[in-house]
Structure 1
Amino acid sequence: MSVLVLAEVDNGALSPATGRIVAASAELGAVDLLVLGDAAAAQAAAAIAGVQKVLLAASEPMADAISGLLETLAPSYTYLVAAASTLGKDVMPRLAARLDIQPVTDIVAIESPNRFVRPIYAGNALETVSDPQPRHVLTIRASAFRPASGGNAAPVETLSTPVASAARFIAAHRTESDIPDLATAQIVVGGGVSVGSADGFKLIEQLGKTLGAAVGATRAAVDAGYAPNDWQVGQTGKIIAPDLYIAVGISGALQHLAGIQGAKKIVAINTDAEAPIAKIADVVLIGDLFEIVPQLIAELENQGLKR
């Protein structure tokens, strides 16, 4: 059985999520990787273990164009796969509609070639889905899988048939940052609305920088303007599964907890010992975050952990 994976490319660089999707998809069969429009990203994709071939295509960065391209390639593949990211959630349902297929989304485990596990009820339960269709359209939660290793040298094939879009791409606006990718980071520091302001949130960023961690935020903190939208963690934001999640001033609303259930260890810093986040955390520090976090940063720096 053959698998075509849609690579995640951001600003010319291959996303770390792609290696995780390839590792998951390799359980289903031989993997080809589709890279849109960037030769450097295609070369990086060719180095991922498990990739049989890289397809490099010139395509406009619009969901209808990408789904149209995938439709033309679909007859050669049993599985068409993407990350359960903004791109995947935009493209794959369109592709499924074009192919008249019921997609299986947000997969966190693969039990067999047609049995998949996905979360429901805001992550409070898992369901196993049997997909008897002859062709499968899937989105996979990257944070649920370990990345594939490197060292491969897959061939790169350039596709000569671009697919146009009915829409027109005008501009991309991005937040420039040197911090790790939130969706795949091993350590994440998250801040809540209790931080009080955008200036107060700089304390969260400082702790993240000291640990070499990604920085996240609750929906309330984002809505209040304390943090950018792409830092939002939760059911309506990014789903994360770090080795360590430090929740600072976060009470633990249901939608936020749905986004961090994959975290292996959770440290909560909060004034409320009865907060929902405190009940699921492995370590709870009760007190004022503006006192605890500076002390924590100072101690980490004393231990030589400043990055």
Structure 2
Amino acid sequence: MAVKVNAEECVGCGACVASCPFGALVMQADKAHITEACTACGACVEICPVSAITREQEEKTAQIDVAAYKDVWVFVEQTEGQAKNVAYELLGEGRKLADAMGQKLAGVLIGDSVQPLAREVFARGADIVYTVEGPELKNYSTDGYTAVFTDLIQTYQPAVVLIGATNDGRDLGPRVACRVGTGLTADCTNLGIDAQTGLVAWTRPAFGGNIMATILCPDHRPQMGTVRPKVFKQPEPDYSRSGQLVQVENKVKAQDIRTRLIEAVRVCTVACNLEESEIIVSGGRGMGKAENFGLIEELANVLGGAVGASRAVVDAGWKPQPHQVGQTGKTVGPKIYFACGISGAIQHMAGMSSSDIVIAINKDADAPIFKAADYGIVGDVLEILPALIEEFKKIKQAC
């Protein structure tokens, strides 16, 4: 919508200037003039005594031919020749979407010497694998990967693009969406097909996780979204599968990339590799103080698991952010999740609800975490954890 002033009909009364809540109207040569601050709220339209101000529908931009876009694509994020687990999770979910839409599933591999990964991508359900290789693409870069992925989309026109909501995926997704002129639904926790429109229904938490919003993209293509790791299970690989391998020429040159990787410093050890861990031991504010997290770390070490933390713990500075589980942290789905001294805020529950088994320890028998737990222990976590550690040590020694 656009608000316009008919200068011939304007009598210069100034009523509109006083009515504008954004100060977007000024008087020039005894006539009302609309500035760039206008939000088209329409307050001035209603107040004008001579109807010299009108609100008009702007012409829509030319609609794209949505029928020209087909297939479901998954960006297969990889590091040092190893695909991230979230890529395999999305291939499994992408297979369901592609089947429901009657289209093909494709994986997109970008990097240096990444073609051997195509076998794994086919095994997880892909019909087509697009590869773009070059030394300039060995390590992720915003400039390089954005240019490559944008070119692929403009050339092959996929209907749907799925990207993992990792650090790199959250950087790549919105940039590519902007370049190709479409929208992007971020941090999705569920995918489906809308029964009425046949569009992808992207579901994500909104308003601090208090509601779940379902978003459709009817007028632009591709339909794009980033999806949190561990919200879907990986499909079992079928290595008898094969498909079409499309090798695309790399058009990116070294001078096109404005950044250069000098050194990679690993600040996150196995103990905080939450997305890949099958056992996670998480602690909350109920641990009392930072020093008590030694018990969490000891139990995780005995079980060969990772250390997680609630947002309250991270905000207090007891553990660094890479350990945070929850809506504003990492979404995890281990086989076993220990929630120690965690009350069970909805934001935290959103990050660990995909866990196979949840074991909760809390002295408050009414804590919400027990509603999500498969096993619960009511008691002082500082007394229970040492006992658990001792028992698990005995079991390991006996094996």
**TM-score, normalising length from structure 2?**
0.67
Aligned partner of 2:347 in structure 1 is 255
Give the aligned residue type for 1:127: A
Deviation at 1:198, TM superposition (A): 5.0
Structure 1: how far apart are the matches of 2:367 and 2:150? 48
Greater CA deviation, 153-162 or 237-246?
153-162
Aligned partner of 1:201 in structure 2 is 293
Structure 2: how far apart are the matches of 1:167 and 1:179? 30
Deviation at 1:100, TM superposition (A): 1.3
Report how many residues are paired: 306
User: Cα gap change, 1:115/1:78 in structure 2, threshold over 3 Å: closer, same or farther?
Assistant: closer
Deviation at 1:204, TM superposition (A): 1.4
Give the aligned residue type for 1:10: T
Structure showing greater Rg:
2
Query: Does the aligned pair in 2 maintain the 1:109–1:144 contact within 8 Å?
Result: no
Aligned partner of 1:91 in structure 2 is 172
Query: Does the aligned pair in 1 maintain the 2:76–2:83 contact within 8 Å?
Result: yes
Alpha-carbon RMSD: 3.0
Structure 2: how far apart are the matches of 1:134 and 1:125? 27
Give the aligned residue type for 1:43: P
Q: Does 1:5 align with 2:74?
A: yes
Superposed CA deviations along residues 223-262 of structure 1, whole A, max 9, x for unmatched, are 3443332211111111123343211122333432332233
Structure 2: how far apart are the matches of 1:125 and 1:282? 24
| Residue of structure 2 aligned with 1:118, choices 203, 207, 215 | 203
Aligned partner of 2:163 in structure 1 is 82
User: Cα gap change, 1:42/1:273 in structure 2, threshold over 3 Å: closer, same or farther?
Assistant: farther
Give the aligned residue type for 2:116: Q
Structure 1: how far apart are the matches of 2:151 and 2:189? 24
User: Cα gap change, 1:100/1:47 in structure 2, threshold over 3 Å: closer, same or farther?
Assistant: same
Structure 2: how far apart are the matches of 1:82 and 1:241? 18
| Residue of structure 2 aligned with 1:157, choices 233, 247, 252 | 247
Structure 2: how far apart are the matches of 1:178 and 1:42? 28
User: Cα gap change, 1:153/1:305 in structure 2, threshold over 3 Å: closer, same or farther?
Assistant: farther
| Residue of structure 1 aligned with 2:131, choices 55, 67, 84 | 55
Structure 2: how far apart are the matches of 1:153 and 1:230? 37
| Residue of structure 2 aligned with 1:239, choices 331, 348, 357 | 331
Structure 2: how far apart are the matches of 1:227 and 1:241? 20
Structure 2: how far apart are the matches of 1:88 and 1:169? 18
**TM-score, normalising length from structure 1?**
0.84
Aligned partner of 2:217 in structure 1 is 131
Q: Does 1:109 align with 2:191?
A: yes
Say which structure, 1 or 2, has more relative contact order (CA 8 Å, 6+ apart).
1
Query: Does the aligned pair in 2 maintain the 1:115–1:128 contact within 8 Å?
Result: no
Superposed CA deviations along residues 17-65 of structure 1, whole A, max 9, x for unmatched, are 21111111122243333333243x5423532322332514333523243
% identity of equivalent residues: 30
| Residue of structure 2 aligned with 1:68, choices 147, 163, 169 | 147
Q: Does 1:32 align with 2:116?
A: no
Aligned partner of 1:215 in structure 2 is 307
Query: Does the aligned pair in 1 maintain the 2:202–2:216 contact within 8 Å?
Result: no
Name the SS for the 2:269 alignment partner: coil
Deviation at 1:146, TM superposition (A): 1.6
Name the SS for the 1:220 alignment partner: helix
Name the SS for the 2:107 alignment partner: strand
Give the aligned residue type for 2:225: L
Give the aligned residue type for 1:248: C
| Residue of structure 2 aligned with 1:19, choices 81, 88, 111 | 88
Name the SS for the 2:176 alignment partner: helix
Give the aligned residue type for 1:233: V
Greater CA deviation, 236-245 or 88-97?
236-245
Aligned partner of 1:144 in structure 2 is 231
Structure 1: how far apart are the matches of 2:104 and 2:89? 15
Aligned partner of 1:301 in structure 2 is 393
Name the SS for the 1:269 alignment partner: strand
